[in-house]
Amino acid sequence: MLDYFQLGGKIAVVTGGASGIGLATAKLLSELGTKTIILDIDQQKGKETEQALQEVGLDIEFVKCDVTNAQDCQSVAELIAGKYGKVDVLFNNAGIIRRKTVVDLDEADWDAVINVSLKGVYLLSKYLIPLMRNSGGGSIINTGSGWGIKGGDKAASYCAAKAGVVNLTKAMAIDHGPENIRVNCICPGDTDTPLLRSEAKQLNIEESSFLRSSAVDRPLARLGTPEDIAKGVLFLASDLSAWVTGTTLTVDGGGLA
């Protein structure tokens, strides 16, 4: 059974990899043998993450990338093609949130959320799928959200972006299945990350109270951890899910039950 989880010799790319779910996933994939390229717009945090993971023996490389910028994404693809010649796993995870209704939301905030969370999936996939296809296939995992399946309050742009990711995933799976590329979506519930904690500030709610309220109504009665989500990504990246594509894996402690 352990052979299903072994990822030695594979090249993985993780966006939003300097913190939260991206960091936990990059670490887990690397522990199981991948060469992992983490992409993030935060240069300082990205380099710190690279150094910290390299110090514990993991094969990690940081590349600064704005996933909303086509030139950045194309440059990443060219770099990976030149150095490694392939991509086996792509985790499109970068995202931001603005906790506002459509009435209160500025157009700039709408554009920022849609661009990072949805356009970023499109752009990086656009430039990395040809490389994945040419090397025989691979697995793409897109980060959606429970709020991409059902609505949420004061998060109009985020709900729209994540719903787009869910259905974009299905379209990509149909288009690229014949190329041996599996495309799936992981939908976390509230997970203890810097992004979730930023929501408390946006809503002007005391942080610990906000985190408690985010957990209390779930059947498992706790927040998710980044590691909880990373394990779901591992399933979708590994051969355990060899006949799984175009689907949505909800990892939310029962929040949507």
- List C-alpha distances in Å: 5 to 26, 132, 153, 242: 14, 20, 38, 12
* Torsion angle in degrees (nearest 10) through CA of 58, 63, 68, 72: -140
Contacts of 23 (CB under 8 A, 6+ apart): 17, 38, 49, 226
The residues annotated as belonging to the active site are 158
Q: How far apart are the first and last CA of the chain?
A: 30
Cα–Cα distance, 197 to 202 (Å, whole number):
9
Instruction: Give CA angle at 158 (172, 254), nearest 5°.
Output: 80
